[in-house]
Amino acid sequence: MIALVSVSVSHYLVVGAILFVTGVICMATKRNSLGVLMGVELVLNGANLNFIAFGSSYLRANSLGLDGQLMSLFVIVLAAAEAAVALAIALNFYNNHSTIDVDQASDLKG
Partner 1 sequence: MYVDLDTIKLLWPELVLVLLATWIYIGGTIQQGRWWWGLFALAAYGVSGHAVAVGIVEANTVSGPLTPDSLGYVVRFTAIVLGALFTLVLTASARKELASETIATLMLLICGVMLVGRANDLVFLFVSLELVSIPTYVLLYLGRRDRATSEATVKYFFLSVLSSAVLLYGLTMLYGVAGTTTLVGPGSIQSELQSLSVDAGGLGSLTPVALVLIIAGLGFKMAAVPFHFYAPDVYQGATNANAGLLAVVPKVAGVIALIRVAVIAMPNVAEFAWHVTLVLALVTMTIGNVCALWQQNLRRLMAYSSIAHAGYMLIGVAVAMAMEASGGISGTLFYLLVYAFGSLGMFAALASLGSDEQEVSRLEQLSGLARSRPFVAGAIAVCMFSLAGIPPLAGFWGKFTLFTGAVRVATDSGGQATSVWFAVLAVGGAINAAIAAVYYLRVVAVMYFQPSREANFGTNVGARVVMLFAAVLVVALGIFPRSIFNATEHAESSALREKVAAQTIQRLEAIATSQQVP
Should residue 3 be labelled a site residue for partner 1 when binding is judged by CB under 8 A?
A: no
Task: Tell which positions 48-87 bind partner 1, by CB under 8 A.
Answer: 50-51, 53-55, 60, 62, 64, 67-68, 70-71, 74-75, 78, 81-82, 85-86
CB-based contacts of 58-63 (< 8 A; 24+ apart in sequence): 59/7, 59/8, 59/9, 59/12, 60/9
| Min CB(85)–partner 1 separation in Å | 5
Should residue 93 be labelled a site residue for partner 1 when binding is judged by CB under 8 A?
A: yes
Should residue 98 be labelled a site residue for partner 1 when binding is judged by CB under 8 A?
A: no
Of 75, 54, 58, 55, residue with least CA distance to 66: 55
What is the rounded CA–CA span in Å between residue 102 and residue 97?
10
Q: How far is CA 35 from CA 24, 30, 99, 102, in A?
A: 12, 6, 13, 10
What is the rounded CA–CA span in Å between residue 102 and residue 88?
15
Q: How many residues bind partner 1 (CB under 8 A)?
A: 47
Binding residues (CB under 8 A) for partner 1: these are 9, 16, 20, 23-24, 27, 33, 36, 40, 43-44, 46-47, 50-51, 53-55, 60, 62, 64, 67-68, 70-71, 74-75, 78, 81-82, 85-86, 88-90, 92-93, 95-97, 102, 105-110
